[in-house]
Amino acid sequence: MGRYVIRRLLQMVPVFIGTTFLIFVMVYAIGDPIAAMFGDRTPDPATAAAIRESLHLNDPLWSQYLQYMAGIFQGDFGTSFNGTPVVELMGNAFPNTIQLTLVAFAIELVVGLTLGVIAGLRRGRLVDTGVLIFTLLVISIPTFVTGYVLQYFIGVKLGWAAPAVSIDVTLDQLLLPGIVLAGVSLAYVSRLTRTSIAENLRSDYIRTATAKGLPRRRVVTVHLMRNSLIPVVTFLGTDIGGLMAGAVVTERIFNIQGVGYQLYQGILRQNSPTVVGFVTILVVVFLAANLLVDLLYAVLDPRIRYA
Amino acid sequence: MTTISKPADVPAQRDQGKSSGTLLEVRDLHVEFHTRDGVVKAVNGVNYSVSAGETLAVLGESGSGKSVTAQAIMGILDMPPAKIPQGEILFRGQDMLKMSGEQRRKIRGAKIAMIFQDALSSLNPVLSVGYQLGEMFRVHQGLSKKAAKAKSVELMDRVKIPAASKRVDDYPHQFSGGMRQRIMIAMALALEPDLIIADEPTTALDVTVQAQVMDLLADLQREFNMGLILITHDLGVVADVADKIAVMYAGRIVEHAPVHELYKNPAHPYTRGLLDSIPRLDQKGQELYAIKGLPPNLLNTPPGCAFNPRCPKAQDVCRTEVPPLHTVADGRGSACHFWEETING
Amino acid sequence: MPDTETSVHTQAPVDAADVVSVELKTDKPRSLWGDAWRDLRRNPIFYISAVLILFLVVISLWPSLLTSTSPYACDITKSKQGPAAGHPFGFNTQGCDVYARTVYGARASVVVGVCTTLLAAVFGCLMGGLAGFFGGWWDSILSRVGDIFFGIPILLGGIVFLSVIKGGSIFTVVLLMAILGWPQIARIARGSVITAKQQDYVQAARALGASTSRMLLRHITPNALAPVIVVATIALGTYVSLEATLSFLGVGLKPPTVSWGIDISTAATDVRNAPHMLLYPAGALSITVLAFIMLGDAVRDALDPKLR
């Protein structure tokens, strides 16, 4: 187990460096941060040069990257072009997004697993077909369409939920955005669970468990679930990053001042430190979630633990 | 003594069996599978019985219905697609097919246990063997986790797994094939059932290990005076351990007999073919006999006797009429129109 | 003892023709692909999605078949008006015909979806195949490179990259999505190549001295391809959805390209008083994604015998 964890951590290092460098290159090398700072105005060459110097933009790219990463490890994500430290922006934005993501994740987990388990156990029956059609529709309708439609009908027409989220985010306001954000992932979780349950249900060890005279409930909860959930856990882990990225769309629809909002503003204003900082954090979250999944995997499946 | 198999039209003798220790009696069992391609009739009127301490070997190729019959007895067929339109499965005189699901569950594992062919896939990969063994005691006897574990170690000792107390927390993939099959046997033995159904218990094992596992099974059967239904396609395994044999072909019993009589003098051409295709030392150098053709096909089973296209003795009547199970001798039957000629050579 | 000649057949009259083995179903040997094709032809979902996709491809090639109105012929005086004669879907904010724009919008979605999938699949198969086939260092390095790209969610990477290069052409959107999308295919391809490589008949071919290229072409590719096709078909649907999302966020396709994502974005602000402007492009987009995902589902069901 210990060796497995260490191997995973070591594998993550080059991936972390590669991914952050890739983003760094995209923003700093391909884009022009100085031009972005001044927007449509043409900057005075002397001023531009001075700014370049102060931001180390004349150093080679790898040196800039190293300086940036060194800063990150000291908790310094640089300063946004309008003078606010990026860390401060993060402090305001992340709590909102994390709450939204958690709400969405909880919905995805509970609803997705329930639907998947029911459909998997009743494969080929009416419930199963219902779940399949429902998930097919949810996957097919893009999030921003569902977002506006639900906001319009549930939020505005019926008034069942808040159509927009106020500055002081409360949990009940996040319910509707959470559903919208969870939608597609929820559908994937149900389908994956369904497939996995249905496949494992036919396995030899389930036949053995039945032949042992175990009650059906025990066969399902003890023997079937644990095996069937292994692939689902993998998906759930990798999906945390996906949810946080998807928050960009949801936050825009429901006007939530979170990571997506800041990222979007940063992109519109070409505020490179903000963009790189936020994306870096998201990537770290994504990688951490993947690592967590690998560890969970080992906990769930002894064949990996003792490999 | 009980007869193992008789035609559905002679019910008179049956009740004698019950009183003389018959554990299990299958009567005119039919099983069909409702698939997209149509109804597959996998078992077509099987009759057999087992008493305490007795070993019945059920012999047949894959698709002959021998495993399906066993699963019907255990009550682990998936229904649907499987369906039992006809027949009775009497356990100690009571028809299990008429019992409630809960009644049947309590019999499974506790009174009738099953050993499967592939222990690796038949054991849950993510639970320790100790847990899986202990589950029997916890569910059926309500023992605590700790007591169940102690019992598991005892069981593993009993099936001669070395260092049982150390290995009780190991997972199935950490054991060798033979050891895993011993764990399957331990699991079946856990509650000292009356009857064990072993479905090809040694097929997946190395030959040397096969003999050890078979010996262990036979010893334990004697010790607990259990009934044993041994399902196999391997005639070599059968000779040493079985008391009587039922040969299945295309969902029917084509011949049943006490083991020595069947070996000495088969009364069905299919049985004869099976016996002739066993390599023998005294026939070294000669070409080995093989039954020609393939097992009957789902979409195209021959009319009449299902074996007729492969049968060296087939006549016109075999292609039109299904042979009934003729009584050859006491406790002996053959479903062949020409059983007399077959038995005489 | 009953005599064979005179015995009365009293057994239950079971028609022997129905006594069949469960394992053997037909006489003919069947291949994975033949089987899959037979299965597909029985699946109504396959026909529905195939007809839809055919229809989408036709109208993206010749949109004028369905409408004679230009998507650019706008009359600002008709802004946000509902359906009228010759304009069944009404008008959008700029007074353009929503029907024409919905029809013309198919092209961007189909082209982006198909091109991205092809690009990602070809590159992904190549990388995954090499990693799986050669193993060792190849595998370590290629898998890590894949992880790097996989570490950036496509939507996030798309937002960052496309906003920086101020892109907006179909080419840049396709390229970006393929660059971030290939690892998904590569992982599948790697896994199935490794599985195929371990098959006994492939080992046998190797033992008989088959050349590397022959092994890859004759033995491994045909068997490793099935899961890739399944994943790629489903991915196609998600790429279409992603393009629309990027365009909706204002970083994907840009006018004058007609894209459902752009139209939905501009219609969104007026969803309360003129929902038709949003509903039609949104419906068209959803049906398109649905068609591809249904096709992927049908293909998977056909190619994955485990779940039959």
Q: What is the pLDDT of residue C72?
A: 73
Mean pLDDT across B245-249: 89
Look at A144 and C264 and tell me if their CB atoms are within 8 Å: yes
Mean pLDDT across B114-119: 85
Residues in contact with B246: Cβ distance below 8 Å, sequence separation at least 6, in sequence order: B4, B5, B48, B56, B57, B58, B59, B253, B255, B256
User: Strand pairing of B82-91 and B22-35?
Assistant: antiparallel
Please tell me which chains touch A, using 3 or more CB pairs under 8 Å as the contact test: B, C
Q: How far is A237 from chain B (nearest CA, A)?
A: 20
Look at B108 and A303 and tell me if their CB atoms are within 8 Å: no
Does the beta carbon of A267 lie under 8 angstroms from any beta carbon of chain B?
Answer: no
ipTM above 0.95, yes or no: no
Q: What is the pLDDT of residue B299?
A: 58
Does the beta carbon of B83 lie under 8 angstroms from any beta carbon of chain C?
Answer: no
Q: What is the pLDDT of residue C74?
A: 72
Q: Are A283 and A19 in contact (CB under 8 A)?
A: yes
A-contacting residues of C 132-191, CB under 8 Å? 144-145, 147-149, 151-153, 155-157, 159-161, 163-165
Give contacts of C29 with chain B, Cβ < 8 Å: none
- All structural domains of chain B with their residue ranges: 14-249, 250-345
Does the beta carbon of B333 lie under 8 angstroms from any beta carbon of chain C?
Answer: no
Q: What is the pLDDT of residue B173?
A: 87
* B145 vs B135: CA distance, rounded Å: 9
- CB atoms < 10 A from the CB of C257, how many? 18
* B19 vs B2: CA distance, rounded Å: 10
Q: What is the pLDDT of residue C21?
A: 33
Q: Using the 8-state DSSP alphabet, how is residue B99 labeled?
A: S
List pLDDT tens digits, range C132-148: 888 888 888 888 888 88
**What is Dmax (Cα atoms) for chain C?**
104
Look at A15 and C286 and tell me if their CB atoms are within 8 Å: no
Structure tokens at C71: 């998507």
Q: Which of B42, B304, B326 sits opposite C22 (nearest CB)?
A: B42
Look at B108 and A300 and tell me if their CB atoms are within 8 Å: no
Q: Which residue of C has its CA nearest to B82?
A: C22
List pLDDT tens digits, range C269-281: 776 777 777 888 8
Q: In the Cβ-directed half-sphere of A267, how many Cα atoms lie within 13 Å?
A: 25
Q: Which of A208, A215, A218 sits opposite B122 (nearest CB)?
A: A208
Q: How far is C289 from chain A (nearest CA, A)?
A: 5
Q: Are B119 and B202 in contact (CB under 8 A)?
A: no
List pLDDT tens digits, range B326-338: 787 778 888 887 7
List pLDDT tens digits, range B37-70: 677 778 888 888 898 888 898 988 877 888 888 8
Give the CA-trace dihedral at A215, A219, A222, A224, to 10 degrees: -160
Assign C124 a pLDDT band (cuts: 50, 70, 90): very high
Look at B127 and A226 and tell me if their CB atoms are within 8 Å: yes
Q: What is the pLDDT of residue A168?
A: 67
Q: Which of A132-146, B294-308, C71-85 has the highest mean pLDDT?
A: A132-146
Q: Count chain B–chain C contacts defined by CB atoms under 8 A.
A: 101
Q: What is the pLDDT of residue B13?
A: 40
Look at B37 and C7 and tell me if their CB atoms are within 8 Å: no
Does the beta carbon of A73 lie under 8 angstroms from any beta carbon of chain B?
Answer: no
* Terminal-residue alpha carbon distance, chain A: 9
Q: Which of A204, A210, A227 sits opposite B126 (nearest CB)?
A: A227
Q: Are A271 and A80 in contact (CB under 8 A)?
A: yes
Assign B303 a pLDDT band (cuts: 50, 70, 90): confident
Look at C21 and B295 and tell me if their CB atoms are within 8 Å: yes
Domain architecture of chain A: domains with CATH: 2-72 (no CATH), 90-300 (1.10.3720.10)
Helices C170-198 + C221-248 axis angle, to 10: 150
* C214 vs A139: CA distance, rounded Å: 40
Per-residue pLDDT at C249 exceeds 90: no
Per-residue pLDDT at B342 exceeds 80: no
Does the beta carbon of C27 lie under 8 angstroms from any beta carbon of chain B?
Answer: yes
* C189 vs C212: CA distance, rounded Å: 17
Q: Count chain A–chain C contacts defined by CB atoms under 8 A.
A: 127
Give contacts of C144 with chain A, Cβ < 8 Å: 11, 14-15, 18
Q: Which of A207, A212, A226 sits opposite B135 (nearest CB)?
A: A212
**Three-class SS state of B39:** strand
pLDDT-flagged residues of chain A (< 70): 1, 30-43, 54-56, 161-169, 305-307
Look at B126 and A211 and tell me if their CB atoms are within 8 Å: no
Q: Are C1 and B13 in contact (CB under 8 A)?
A: no
Q: Are B267 and B342 in contact (CB under 8 A)?
A: yes
Please tell me which chains touch B, using 3 or more CB pairs under 8 Å as the contact test: A, C
List pLDDT tens digits, range B160-206: 888 878 888 888 888 888 888 888 888 888 888 889 998 888 777 77
User: Strand pairing of B252-258 and B326-329?
Assistant: unpaired
Q: What is the pLDDT of residue B12?
A: 39
Q: Which residue of B has its CA nearest to A303?
A: B173
**Three-class SS state of B326:** strand
Q: Quickly name the fold that domain B14-249 has.
A: Rossmann fold (3.40.50)
